[in-house]
Amino acid sequence: MYDELKQFDRFLAVHPELQDTLKSHFLPPPKKSEIAVQILERFSIGDKAKRFLLLLVENRRLELLPEILELLPVLWNEEHGITTFQVSSVIPLSPAQKKRLKEKLARLERRPVSLTYKMDPSLIGGLSIRNANIVYDASIQGDLERLKQKIAEE
C-alpha cells in the first residue's frame, strides 16, 4: 500500500494543477471525490489505498499525504521494534561509514535500527543524528553553538 500511495503522491507532484484542484476548499468534496475516482481508475492501486486516498480527499486532508508517507516507515519500524534515526551530514557518507554508524547505534539502542540520510549544508561538518525528539549532535555547527552558550554563561 505504501508504494501505491507514494506513486499517487508522485503523480500529483508532476501535475500541480490537479493537486490544486483536489486540495481546493472552493470545490465541494463530492466533486473532488468524483475527480479522484476518475484518476484512481487509471492507476493499478489496491482497494485499500484507493479508499484511504478518497478518505483524504473527502475530508480535505490530501495535503497531509506527504507527511503521512514520511511517517509510515517510522511507524512500521516502531511497530516491529526497530528504532529509526535521521542522519544529517554535509557530504554523503560512504557505505563503510553508514555500516559503522548503524552498528554503533544498534549497540547503543540494544535493538535493530533503520537510518535515513539527508544532506544539510548548514552543519559545516560532522553529523546530526535525530530520533524523534532526541538529537545527537556531532557537528561543527553544534560545537560552535555549545561554545557560544558556554561563553554567554560566563
Asked whether residue 60 is assigned to any structural domain, the reply reads yes
Count of domains observed in the chain? 2
From 23, 38, 70, the end of a domain falls on: 70
Interacting residues of 136 by C-beta distance below 8 A, sequence separation 6+? 127, 128, 129, 130
Structural domain boundaries enclosing 95: 81-153
Q: Cβ distance 119 to 88 under 8 Å?
A: yes
Pairwise CA distance, residues 141 & 127, whole Å: 9
Pairwise CA distance, residues 1 & 65, whole Å: 13
The H helix count followed by the E strand count for the chain is 7, 4
Q: State whether 63 and 94 are in the same domain.
A: no
Asked whether residue 75 is assigned to any structural domain, the reply reads no
Render each residue's pLDDT in the chain as its tens digit; 154 residues.
888 888 888 888 888 888 888 888 888 888 888 888 888 888 788 888 888 888 888 888 888 888 888 888 888 888 888 888 888 888 888 999 899 989 988 998 898 988 988 888 877 777 888 887 777 776 666 666 766 777 777 6
C-alpha cell at 126: 560532522
Q: State whether 65 and 126 are in the same domain.
A: no
Other CB atoms within a 10 A radius of the CB of residue 107 amount to: 10
Q: State whether 38 and 101 are in the same domain.
A: no
User: pTM score, two decimals?
Assistant: 0.60
Q: Tell me the pLDDT tens digit for each residue of 128-140.
A: 888 877 777 766 6
Smallest Cα–Cα separation from 70: which of 91, 89, 84? 84
Q: State whether 40 and 90 are in the same domain.
A: no
Q: How many residues can be counted in the chain?
A: 154
Q: State whether 64 and 24 are in the same domain.
A: yes
Asked whether residue 100 is assigned to any structural domain, the reply reads yes
DSSP line for 67-83: HHHHHHHHHHHHHTT-E
Pairwise CA distance, residues 114 & 108, whole Å: 13
Q: State whether 146 and 86 are in the same domain.
A: yes
From 70, 91, 122, the end of a domain falls on: 70
Q: State whether 85 and 148 are in the same domain.
A: yes
Q: State whether 60 and 95 are in the same domain.
A: no
From 37, 70, 103, the end of a domain falls on: 70
